[in-house]
Amino acid sequence: MSINSALGTAVTGLAVNQRGLEIASHNIGNANTEGYSRKIAHRESISSSGTAGGVQIAKIERAAETFITNQLRTEVASFGRSEVKDRFLTNTQNMFGTLASDSSIGQRLADLTARMETLAVEPESSTGANAMVDAAVLFARDLNNISDEIVRLRRQADLEIENAVDAINADLEIVAKLNEQIASLQGKNADSGDLEDRRDQALKRIATEINIKTFQRSSGEIVIYTGDSRPLLDGDPIPLQYESSSNGILGTTYDDLTLADGAVIQRDIRDGRIRGLLDVRDQVLPNLHKQIDAFAENVRDMANLAHNRGMGLPGANALTGGRVFENPATDLITVSSDVRFVVTDDEGMTVAAFDLPAGSYTIDGVAAAIDAGLGADGSAVVANGQLRLTAAASDNAVGLVDLNGGADAQISFDDGSGAEAFAGFSNFFGLNDLFQTPGAVEGDDPTNIAGALQVRADIVDDPKLLARGRVTLAATTPVAGADRAIAVGDGSVVGELAAIFSADRAMPAVGGLPAITKPIHEYAAEILGLNSQLAADSAERLAFEEALVAQFQTRLSDRTAVNVDEELANILILQNAFSASARVITTADEMMQTLMQMKR
């Protein structure tokens, strides 16, 4: 080998070792950079016409594990779905409270029942009446808050879907641009490792939101598909499209997730945060809302059935039915027993009384018969589709009772679409309801009524209007000025009101809860129990997914992450090699100097 050849070989050694030192330094500098994979310089010898010519960098390769990386993307999608469901179910748990919590809906109902029992013992107690009304208002308000929170969470889930779509589209753009840069560099046999790391991070973010498949072309470009192989990026990105709704109540119709080319991909999404958000928005929260609505409906109907059997002392000057009739002139009602209507003074004495005979009537016909029967002391009209009873004197009250031996009259109602059965004349019309859900009465669709449940406004203003006793069931119609229409100290109705919540009630299957027959407060416990179980299952699943992601992340890091100790050791080797190459150059220089001197 000539001196010039040795000099050239040493120079290549200097260059290669210098480049190696740069790469090692770059690795150490990025040891704690998320998603960074160490870079490895592969060397090869240079030869020309069979003569050694030194060394060069063949390529700079990043430490990558395609199989583990793809597995990690699959697992982060599952983790994203579990994380979303766990977060929302934790919120519902916080909203309900625990089964033993004083603020749980079951406990609120138990508190209300206890107030009713106390009032039944002392029906004339204004303190007891106030306490019962306060408990009823608090119970209704808690259900309102739960309903409102479910609506808010559902709206939040829908908005997060839109935000996730925007994030995916932004990352698709990033991957598309990186694809171009990587393909260009690889075409020049240049280092593209750092760009590939950035692309992997963008792909991981996309995979967290939605399950994807990826393929790498020979050019180095990545192609992205949905789980069902619809293209998201193949050259140019195909963005997702979704616009969130401004509503979250039951019955809201949401747009489908689509691609810019119009393809609906909602069913393709089987994992990722978006799948979790869809599950929460379309299944978990609606099911919970249906359960709460069913609970509110049954509490309302049970309470109103009992409360409509009696009146306060003094009672209400006017009673307006909650049921609205579209065609009162033709809508037909059939009553199984006589119904007694009374006007009383503030001490419960009879001012006027009328017994409506059992039979069939139009709604207008019922009002006309009652109006005629009460005479000048009371009136009955149908106004705005509602039956209204009024005592003529402002300090008198109206009341009524079914004359069916203490039981509720059986009501058949037909508005032309088929007969429906109800119990209790006053209960059917909603004349003396305790709880109201404006826009919906017994027999109507219960959707979203938990958010509308409220204690009747005039009872809140004047708790003395609470129904405590029953109008007399005497065989003969009470005589004005002579007979007492309602007994002082009668707490029978409020006692029945308390007892009705402790009686078994058949509840149909709704929102994932099976059909059960239990007291209504135990139904509340079933709702909380199911939600608690879902939350526990979700937390367990999340822990499993988290451990799995951590396991794959560790395996990937073991193979691709920077080991600072190894890099420092490598630097020492490169330094020694660099010094050796430099020594060769020095030696060659000395030899050249010697030759020059010999020539002289």
**pLDDT recorded at residue 598:** 77
Q: Which residues touch 480 (CB under 8 Å, ≥6 apart)?
A: 350, 351, 352, 353, 377
Q: Where are the alpha helices (DSSP H) in 210-284?
A: 273-279
Q: What is the pLDDT of residue 168?
A: 96
DSSP state of 450: G
Determine the longest span between alpha carbons in the chain, in angstroms: 154
Per-residue pLDDT at 98: 56
What secondary structure letter does DSSP report for 475? S
pLDDT for 228 equals 78
| CA-based nearest residue to 399, from 344, 346, 333 | 344
- Cβ atoms within 10 Å of 30's Cβ, excluding its own: 18
Whole-angstrom distance, CA of residue 102 vs CA of residue 96: 10
As given in the structure block, the two tokens for residue 235 are: 């050259």
| Per-position pLDDT tens, the chain of length 600 | 577 777 777 788 788 888 888 888 888 998 888 888 888 888 888 876 656 678 888 788 888 888 898 899 999 999 999 999 999 999 988 887 655 555 678 888 888 899 999 988 888 889 999 999 999 999 999 999 999 999 999 999 999 999 999 999 999 999 999 999 999 988 888 888 899 999 999 999 999 999 999 999 989 999 999 987 889 999 899 999 999 998 889 888 999 999 998 889 998 899 999 999 999 999 999 999 999 999 999 999 999 999 999 998 889 999 999 999 999 999 999 999 999 999 999 899 999 999 999 999 999 999 999 999 999 999 999 999 999 999 999 999 999 999 998 899 999 999 999 999 999 999 999 999 999 999 999 999 999 999 999 999 999 999 999 999 999 999 999 999 999 999 988 889 999 998 998 889 999 999 999 999 998 888 888 898 898 899 999 999 999 999 999 999 989 888 888 888 888 888 888 888 788 878 878 887 777 777 777 765
Beta bridge partners of 205: none
Helix (H) or strand (E) holding 473: none
| Cβ-based neighbours of 373, under 8 Å, separated by 6 or more | 341, 354, 355, 356
Q: What is the pTM of this model?
A: 0.87
Q: Report the pLDDT value the prediction gives residue 55, as an integer from 0 to 100.
A: 83
Q: And the tokens for 356?
A: 């409506």
Residue that has been written with the tokens 């704690």 in this structure: 32
d(CA 342, CA 344): 6
The CA–CA distances, whole Å, from 16 to 106, 563, 574 equal 76, 21, 9
Torsion sign over Cα 440, 445, 448, 450: positive
- pLDDT, position 357: 97
Helix (H) or strand (E) holding 599: helix 564-599
pLDDT at res. 545: 94
Give the span between the Cα atoms of 54 and 134, in whole angstroms.
93
Reduce the DSSP state of residue 446 to 3 states and report it. coil
pLDDT of residue 599: 63
SS3 143: helix
Angstrom distance (rounded) from CA 582 to CA 580: 5
The confidence score (pLDDT) of residue 49 equals 60
What residues does 57 pair with on adjacent strands?
A: 43
End-to-end CA distance of the chain: 24
- Residue 70 and residue 227 in contact, taking contact as beta carbons nearer than 8 Å: no
3-state SS of 429-441? HCCCCCEEECCEC
Question: How much is the pLDDT for 576?
Answer: 84
What is the rounded radius of gyration, in angstroms, for the C-alpha atoms of the chain? 40
